[in-house]
Amino acid sequence: MSKLRTFRKGGVHPPEQKLSADRPIERLQLPAKVYIPLQQHIGAPPTAVVAKGDRVKVGQLLAQSGGFVSANIHSSVSGVVESLEPIADGTGYKRPTITIAVEGDEWLESIDRSTELNTNLDVAPDEIVKRIAEAGIVGLGGATFPMHVKLTIPTGKKANVLIVNAVECEPYLTSDHRVMLEHGPEIMVGLQLLMKSIGVERTVIGIENNKPDAIAHLSKLAQDYKGIEVQPLRVKYPQGGEKMLIKAITGREVPSGGLPIEVGAVVVNVGSVLAAYEAVQKRKPLFERVVTVTGKQLEKPSNFRVRIGTPISTLIEAAGGMPSDTGKVISGGPMMGKALISTDVAVAKGTSGVVLMPSSEATKGEPQACIRCARCVNACPLGLEPYLFARLSQRGRFADMENERVMDCMECGSCFYACPAKVSLLDYIKLGKNEVGAMIRSRNAKK
């Protein structure tokens, strides 16, 4: 095993709580209805191509991508379209959502449902990207950036390394971990396809050291493939952040406001690699994903293969039911996930996990006076000064926040995690980013 690497400055190490790491991926039974939001990715919203009353099959296109930075949406079940209307999502905003009443499980004939490994690499690079775009694949780590956009290298730029984000630095989550253990061969083929599509010779899979079985498994498989290597990483949050991972693996720093390609890197999540394999080799659109359902008081923390649109309450039931003491339900990990207003909301492409917190851990500590201990400054992986942002934000000095580079903040929350006075640092920073974002937009509009 090669030497452990990590990014240099900042970061925190919250308790890992990987309760479901040993639970194999189970196929969740189909719900009675699915609720498929149209906007499940970063970018332009797609346009619905089905109407109420239409009969759809598994994998059928429901909504057509609304531009280059956008993604197709497919049906995850077979059945009848019941409605297309705004439904509240996890954060309470109403968003256009297609509701489908499930009838049977009839897949599109074009999808290859065999489990046999298809190692045929005889696909042209642009055909790979095209199939991935058609399948509506987005970053499954939670960022939901359309994958075909990443794979389309801008003219004048050149990629020289493909980095696979298998860090899973969020506490509790284990879906990527299980995917690596159970779908290693598919990942290897998927990586070769991706390497071909962007024309690089080298792939590095970054895995934190708390998953030694995954490191060993993929290292062994990678021996048979040229150019693919596994890099064990020291456990440190937020190593799964794109910039942090590139720094840890290559030592290069993505410039402020820049994209990974500016340092020659393309970063993809390991779960997305599996999805890409399935899209290219099996012609299977992205309509299901692996979701971790976990929590300290949950009877059976699990990893489920879930159809997109399945209500989160169904997942919780399958994991043993909602503990009576549940105080908070988080979509995603506890560091960057969103607290849900209800468990009726559906699993989307970016839902990597559902974490249930007992009521004793649901509320944040009472904020006290900042004692200027500098823990937030030391925790920030981007060299920013969270305490200063909080002070400027409280005083409405948003122009100063912009000068202090608040827009570099990736909202990892390390500052708030580290703060002994429990100051709501990230809340103030988010407020400031909102205001600064509006300032920048109005400035650009004037030009």
Partner 1 sequence: MDNKQLVVSLSPHVQSPQTTQKLMLNVVLALMPAFAVSLFYFGIGPLLVTLLSVGSCVLIEYLIQRFVLRTKSTVGDLSAVVTGLILAFNVPSNLPWYIVVLGALVAIGMTKMSFGGLGNNIFNPAIVARVFLLISFPVQMTSWPQPIESRLQYTDALTGATPLAVLKEGLSKGQTISQMDLPSNMDMFMGLMGGSLGEISALALLIGMVWLLITRTITWHIPVSIIGTVAAFTGILWLVAPETNANPIFHLLTGGLLLGAIFMATDYVTSPMHPAGMWVYGIGIGLLTVIIRVWGSYPEGMSFAILIMNSVVPLINKYMKPKRFGERRAAQ
Residues 39-98 within binding reach of partner 1 (CB under 8 A)? 92
Contact set for partner 1, span 190-209 (CB under 8 A)? none
Which of 52, 364, 395, 441 touches partner 1 (CB under 8 A)?
Answer: 364
Question: x/- contact string, 155-174, with partner 1 (CB under 8 A)?
Answer: ----------------x---
Sheet holding 61-64, edge to edge: 47-48, 61-64, 73-74
Question: CB 4 → partner 1: shortest distance, Å?
Answer: 21
- Closest by CA position to 183, among listed 140, 145, 126: 140
Alpha helices in 107-257 (DSSP H): 125-134, 147-151, 175-182, 184-198, 212-222, 242-250
What residues from 226 to 245 belong to the interface with partner 1 (CB under 8 A)? 243
CA distance 207 to 168: 8
- Give the binding-site size for partner 1 (rule: CB under 8 A): 78
The single-letter code of the amino acid at 334 is: P
Stretch that binds partner 1, among 124-132, 140-148, 220-228, 311-319 (CB under 8 A): 311-319
Pick from 364, 426, 428: which is nearest to 394 by CA? 428
Distance CA 33, CA 434 (A): 36
What the block records as the tokens of 120 is: 């045929």
| Residue 339, strand partner residues | 330
Helix residue ranges per DSSP H, 43-183: 125-134, 147-151, 175-182
392 binds partner 1 (CB under 8 A): no
**Which stretch in 77-85, 116-124, 254-262, 289-297 sits in contact with partner 1 by CB under 8 A?**
254-262
Q: Which residues of 190-212 are buried (b: 16+ CB within 10 A; e: fewer)?
A: bbbbbbebbebeebbbbbbebbe
* Binding of residue 317 to partner 1 (CB under 8 A): yes
Element (H, E) at 391: helix 386-394
Q: Maximum CA pair distance of the chain? A: 64
CB 440 to partner 1: min, Å: 18
Binding test (CB under 8 A) with partner 1, winner from 1, 9, 49, 434: 9
CB of 425 to partner 1, least distance (A): 10
Q: Could you tell me if 347 and 320 are in contact, meaning their C-beta atoms sit under 8 angstroms apart?
A: no
Q: How far is the CB of 178 from partner 1 (least distance, A)?
A: 22
- Give yes or no for a contact between 53 and 84, defined as CB atoms under 8 angstroms apart: no
346 makes contact with partner 1 (CB under 8 A) = no
329 binds partner 1 (CB under 8 A): yes
For 312, left (φ over 0), alpha (ψ -120 to 50), or beta?
Answer: alpha
Only segment of 69-77, 99-107, 189-197, 247-255 that touches partner 1 (CB under 8 A): 247-255
Among 223, 342, 360, 394, binds partner 1 (CB under 8 A): 342
* Least distance to partner 1, CB of residue 239, Å: 14
Task: Report the 10 Å Cβ neighbour count for 173.
Answer: 30
Contact criterion met (CB below 8 Å) for 176 and 108: no
Does the protein bind partner 1 through residue 365 (CB under 8 A)? yes
By beta-carbon proximity to partner 1, the closer residue of 18 and 148 is 18
Residues 96 and 109: beta-carbon distance below 8 Å: no
User: Considering only residues 355, 392, 401, 436, which one is a binding residue for partner 1 as defined by CB under 8 A?
Assistant: 355
If binding is defined by CB under 8 A, does position 433 make contact with partner 1? no
Site for partner 1 contains 383 (CB under 8 A): yes
- Chain positions 96 to 125 lying near partner 1, rule: CB under 8 A, are none
CB 45 within 8 A of CB 15: no
The distance of closest approach from Cβ of residue 414 to partner 1 in the complex, given in angstroms and rounded to an integer, is 8
Does residue number 304 form part of the binding site for partner 1 (CB under 8 A)? no
Work out which of 196, 202, 252, 305 binds partner 1, going by CB under 8 A: 252
Minimum Å distance from CB 200 to partner 1?
Answer: 14
Does residue 316 bind partner 1 (CB under 8 A)? Answer: yes
**Chosen residue from 55, 113, 372, 395 binding partner 1 by CB under 8 A:** 372
Site for partner 1 in 260-299 (CB under 8 A): 263-264
Please choose, from the candidates 247, 244, 249, the residue with its C-alpha nearest in 3D space to the C-alpha of residue 231.
249
Q: Under the criterion CB under 8 A, does residue 387 sit at the interface with partner 1?
A: yes
7 backbone dihedrals φ, ψ, rounded to 5°: -75, 160
Closest to partner 1 by CB, 75 or 210? 210
* Contact with partner 1 (CB under 8 A) among 152, 338, 407, 439: 338
Residue 81's CB is within 10 A of a number of other CB atoms, namely 20
Residue 327 interacts with partner 1 (CB under 8 A): yes or no: yes
The only residue of 77, 81, 384, 406 in contact with partner 1, by rule CB under 8 A = 384
Residue 443, classed as helix, strand or coil, is helix
- Whole-number Å distance between alpha carbons of 151 and 76: 25
- Pick out residues in 410-429 that bind partner 1 (CB under 8 A): 411, 413, 416-422, 424, 426-427
